[in-house]
Structure 1
């Protein structure tokens, strides 16, 4: 996905969604969703406004588009402005505020190991674990877990509304928006996010 600025200084970029909306673990099982991604290889003022992401939205969003964040959003990888940081977040409940601290969500972050997020491929992964008495979400980069959200971190209704259905998977690169800075005249056009693969695994 390659953001492009035209001669009129307007930006266009790309977004890919799965047609399937049924990604979720079976009762008592674990599902993992991962992708091997190199973020746009641009940093500093040239990266101002870049917002690459790999994430999932709850199936009820399609055809409604007004029920966020209660339906659940799991951000597997987000990055802004070319910094060497990956963010992981569960969005749920009500906005603003609510049990999930919206619009921030229940999030964590880490730096990419060994090489920066922008200069190399890394494997970004979420594990949705229903194998125990209480569900758990685990985020990792290159196999290192750096953020966990437990079912008990929110009330039962909020968790059920956010996770009691399937999800669809999204890859995109936005330019500007509510989180990163607006692009400037120094923001570099045409730097792609590279995706080697996307995989979904389920325990049996």
Structure 2
């Protein structure tokens, strides 16, 4: 989740978006175990994508996601890191099942709630931070998500996201955006539109035009009422490497190693990442798109980001 300034009101028109990479203190919590695939690296040859990790969120209603797979981030920032996650978002993240829990039907729900003037929500990240594309191979990260079903004034300030950060962000908190951030899906204010963005290099400016990032958006008028598949692929099979963003299998954004210097690309992509899911409230991106401070008194609490599954697949490179 990257810092968006008020210029987002202009940026949305050009389809450029971004999400900041600054997050909450992460503390493991107990919870019901998810059903996961074998986490060993697949031994299939080149040309075959093999699932190497998966979370299906099976478990009793009201229980937390598996602490073997997930860290629940709590508070308003990493110790010693930027306040408000560096994005200006205003909620406090908790491990309260009212904010984050399994629904008993194979889904995870992350729900934003308000008590008085205080908003709470949740953010989770994978314990693993080694999801990477092998030399000469591919990495695919995907999830099936249903976005909060709120629009107009009722949805102002909602900021759901599915994204990754480079492994070296953990324990540093000040090396963004150089370590890379892949925003696989983000949405704000309940608009019928989703964004995919790469953050890289230096901020402000640099080859990823921070704090904007290199992004694009695509329409999605049923993303708040139905599950849709969001995916990112990192393709290292050729001389030019690519990041590709998909909605339900349809390509809508591409960034390649040819778009920047080799060192910046490698620093953003050529290493492990960890995966995040969160539902922020307010902050620079929704504020910029709305043209006002969000959330507002008209914003309706209780909207949820619902997750059916998350999976990681890898294609090995040719030896």
- 1:111 partnered with 2:224: no
Give the corresponding residue for 1:21: 129
Aligned residues: 201
Q: 1:198 aligns with which of 310, 314, 319?
A: 310
- Residues of 1 paired with 2:248 and 2:269: CA distance? 25
Q: CA RMSD in A?
A: 0.8
Q: 1:76 aligns with which of 148, 163, 184?
A: 184
- 1:138 partnered with 2:244: yes
Q: 1:50 aligns with which of 158, 161, 184?
A: 158
Deviation at 1:164, TM superposition (A): 2.3
SS, match of residue 193 in structure 1:
strand
- Residues of 2 paired with 1:149 and 1:70: CA distance? 16
Give the corresponding residue for 1:5: 114
- Residues of 2 paired with 1:162 and 1:187: CA distance? 36
Deviation at 1:31, TM superposition (A): 1.1
1:126-171 deviation line (CA, Å, top 9, x unaligned) = 0110111121000000000000001110111111111121000000
Q: Which has the larger radius of gyration?
A: 2
2:133–2:270: 8 Å Cα contact kept in structure 1? no
Moved over 4 A (4+): none
1:48-95 deviation line (CA, Å, top 9, x unaligned) = 000000000000100000000011000000000000111000000111
- Residues of 1 paired with 2:209 and 2:225: CA distance? 32
Give the corresponding residue for 2:5: none
- Residues of 2 paired with 1:161 and 1:32: CA distance? 19
- Residues of 2 paired with 1:3 and 1:42: CA distance? 12
- 1:121 partnered with 2:233: no
- 1:32 partnered with 2:140: yes
- Residues of 2 paired with 1:157 and 1:26: CA distance? 17
- Residues of 2 paired with 1:5 and 1:11: CA distance? 4
1:98-147 deviation line (CA, Å, top 9, x unaligned) = 111000000011012xx422121110000110111121000000000000
In the alignment, structure 2 segments of 5+ residues that lack a partner are 1-109, 288-293
Higher relative contact order (CA 8 A, sep 6+): 1
In the alignment, structure 1 segments of 5+ residues that lack a partner are none
Normalising by structure 2, report the TM-score: 0.62
- Residues of 1 paired with 2:303 and 2:243: CA distance? 31
